[in-house]
A and B are shown apart, each in its own frame.
Chain A
Amino acid sequence: MWLWIHKFGSPPHAYRLLGQLAPWFGWAALVLILAATYWGLVEAPRDYQQGDAFRILYVHAPSAWMSMFVYVVMAVAAGIGMIWRIKLAHAAAAACAPIGASFTFLALATGSIWGKPMWGTWWVWDARLTSELILLFLYLGYMALRSSFDDPQRADRASAVLAIVGVINVPIIHYSVEWWTTLHQPASVTKLDKPSIALEMLYPLFLMIIGFQVYFGWAISRRLRGEILRRERNAKWLQEAR
């Protein structure tokens, strides 16, 4: 186990492994997302209350899920980097931020587009929407903080603290629809009893979420390879590899 961690934690090994994995992730994500899009737009039945507008669900919920998932990955990676001083973990956290920020933006934007016909407004300052907006600012703040340091090690430490403290916002986003009154509907899938959504509407959603996860796997592989090269610019393995 420790040997495995040590091996994976070594930049040359990780660099090669990510390079081998990335194309698989990329093609799988493309197939999954296209299949889920077709299923969600064409095959899934129309909602009896929302009509075809409910189909926005298939892009809104997966991006909202990813916005939180990527943040947790980023915070865990930053924590591992802080505790065990693994540089690769800090690099992974740094690679997560722009991807997570883009998913958060997408969740907010598609939610707003969905809100207009259903709620009659693009935006309300309620707990769910506000806490998701704070998540976007956490990502942007994380990236701004990183870029304000010239020394990557200091940037790693300072930004890790922000990432770890900010993780408190993730359960707040999730439970915001239960704790406060809001226009946003409560969870229909991630709850303990059975989902309150028809299965034929649910399957394309699961497929899209898996597609987004695999897509994240692809994006993080590419960005992490870039991060590794930048941090290892004077390393011996890199010079030997050329």
Chain B
Amino acid sequence: MDLREFLNMGGYAGYVWSAYGLTALVLVWNWWAARRCEVEEQQSARRRSSAD
């Protein structure tokens, strides 16, 4: 398949790619936020136990 034709999405490029881009953004944000939530608590638990 022609790459330019694929990227053009039958004239709906702006809509299709912004929807997929936004999805990627939200999934990556979730990944980052969930990981941070876990890692921060692990670090603070470690700090507390070394302070004891």
Chain A residues proximal to chain B, CB less than 8 Å: 33, 37, 41-42, 46, 51-53, 55-56, 59-60, 63, 98-99, 102-103, 105-106, 109-110, 113-114, 116-117, 215, 218-219, 222-223, 225-227, 229-230, 233, 238-239, 242
Contacts and interface: CB of A to CB of B under 8 A. Distances in A.
Contact of B40 (A37, A99, A226): A226
Contact of A51 (B11, B27, B42): B11
B40 A102 contact: no
Contacts of B30: 98-99, 102, 215, 219
A46 B45 contact: no
Contacts of A242: 45-46, 49-50
Interface string B10-30: 111001101110110011011
Contacts of B40: 226
A53 B12 contact: yes
Chain A facing B: main interface SS: helix
A52 B46 contact: no
A7 B15 CA distance: 49
B48 to A, nearest CB: 7
B45 A42 contact: no
Nearest to A98: B33
A51 B13 CA distance: 11
Contacts, number: 99
Interface residues of B, number: 33
B22 A222 contact: no
Of the candidates A103, A225, A227, the one having the most CB atoms from chain B within 10 angstroms of its own CB is A225
Contacts of B38: 222-223, 225-226, 229
25 contacts: A37-B20, A51-B12, A52-B10, A53-B12, A56-B16, A56-B19, A56-B20, A63-B26, A98-B30, A102-B30, A106-B23, A109-B22, A113-B15, A215-B27, A219-B31, A222-B37, A222-B38, A225-B41, A226-B37, A226-B40, A226-B41, A229-B42, A230-B41, A238-B49, A242-B46
- Nearest 7 A-B pairs (CB), nearest first? A229-B41, A52-B10, A226-B37, A222-B34, A242-B49, A53-B12, A52-B9
